[in-house]
Structure 1
Amino acid sequence: MTLTHAPADLTDRGAGVLVHSPYGLDAKTSRPDGFISLIAVVVYWLVSSPAAFIHVPTRQVCHHGGMATPLDHAAEYVRPPVRWAEFTLYFEPLRFDVALVGTLQRQWMEKYPAVRQRLPRQRPENLPSVDPFTDSWPMPGVEQATGSFSPILFYQFDQISLKWAFSATESHGEAYPGYTNLAPELMDRFAELVQVVEETDNTVKVQGAQCYYSNALSDIDSIDWVYGVLSNWEDSRIVDRASLGINYLGLKLRRVSDNPQLSTRRTAWISLDEGEGQPSEVDIWSLSVPRDGFSPDTDDPMAVAQLLLHDAHEFEISNFESSFSAEMKKGWGGA
């Protein structure tokens, strides 16, 4: 399906002021702060003491670093505006106990030595709802990072993700590693998670996949970007926002598209936000979930995860391309 931004398509968009990404780490909880703190202290002691964990034997994992990835059908850029990117796989809630957390943490410690606990993340509303407090002793999410703190691996009872970001001290011209490098790394870690879970006589059932790009809007004023994106870049007017008395501008768009080849539903969100002393940001994230008729050739969680992640990325790239003008892309440089 070809994505368009024609004004007639605005009936499928929700517009409003962006406050926060719905998948940040400021998730609300009905439990007292002290309860969360207690969990963090206990889990910190457990993660810091490998001997405290129940050992689950491991076996060789078939790595997927050479997996085939679909063409983006989009230009590659030397200096894209991407500031950070995150790829996430969602699955049915697991029994996220000490044994599972400990085995994964130890397995990934060599590559991701920095470990900390995080509040559980919310999942997109398009997925089946889950409750992190279903178990009598809920576990927080876990972050493991490389020595440079990028990329960062995050996992909890219903999801696993990989996030890459520019460091605060590095230049805008630093090379973004791209989906073709980051997606295989996520799939390798997911394969190891699946292996550990299956060795406890349980299964992993994938429910969706998401791609998220946060982009700096440094070469155009946000109000001009709004005019451009809502007119499919046919309106190139330059607006004096000061004369309009606007000191903050936010916009949020949503698109939904069914993929008949895979029987998936793809949803994309495009959000504009701005803050004092920093460039405006355009966040674009796309989610792919199965719908009625979704029947892959295999129920292997790795195969299902790859299908959904590639599908989400294809929709992500389509929305990314249409969110910026040809003139802006020319300034990023061709590959």
Structure 2
Amino acid sequence: MLTVICESPRNLQALERPRPERAPGEVLLRVKRVGVCGTDLHIFTGHQPYLAYPRVMGHELSGVVEEADADSGFVPGESVYVMPYLSCGRCVACRQGKTNCCVNIQVLGVHRDGAFTEYLCVPQRFVGKADGISLDQAAMLEFLAIGAHAVRRGEVAVGQRVLVVGAGPIGLAAMIFAKLRGATVIAIDGRQPRLDFALRHVGVAAAVPLGEGDEAELARLSDGEFFDVVFDATGNAQAMERGFRLVAHGGRYVLVSIVQGDIRFSDPEFHRRETTLLSSRNATTEDFETVMQAMKAGLVPDAALATHRLALSEVPARFQQLLDPAEGVIKAIVEC
């Protein structure tokens, strides 16, 4: 089977590997679609801290069942998606149902080889039926579920003012699901094409370019009160620290992105506003279900989100292009 391996930063190799042998309790999948994530780009450039090379990337995937246990509930040819966060089911987080932050988590494409390949074995409890959605949609469930999880963490409610800082795929996902909860959503980003996308396809109320006067504009848009819930999806420490100033009194601040190092904030301001600070990591089965239902109802602009497409065999030659801002990539999908 064809497999693309990241041997080392910026070194992708396409080679033939034996098809994996399925163990009891696993589902053998024929991989059909893989979404390219920011994590994959960081692995490619050498900026993913939780990784050992070589690695087969890819954790946003859909496929069809090739083989499964007779009592698994899966049949050959059935379309499925994969929950790529392989949780242990035993640790303190898992016992509370918080499998997204399992102590012993193994993420496909990061801690173990992922989906840039033609066949993959996955424990059956992490495989779900993609009933009523396309293979493309099923491959986009994961990153959208991260946004849905963040919105659930932020307890976004009808009529609230929400600010999303960063209009990449995760930020756009947070905008989509905050808007579906009835919030007034504002986007801020330094890339005008991303802001234009958020206005055109997500329907945000306003999109503010990053730069001089942006904070005054955010104050104007919120009647000087700023925002009930602020989401950071930038992966930038300076932006994350600045975001504390943009939270309304009594509001919530959700850090969806992560950086290596410390984040600092003014303790007097934090207490004066009684800010609730939250992290948001990965997603759970509940969030995947939320996204699936929204897709089935036609409430997610998934066709617009899938801006680029390439074959698995083209990945070594074309992957570098996905890093180019001029390409205007929102979500690239690899076809296997």
Q: TM-score, normalised by structure 1?
A: 0.25
Higher strand share: 2
Which has the larger Rg? 1
Q: Which has the higher contact order (CA 8 A, sep 6+)?
A: 1
Higher helix share: 2
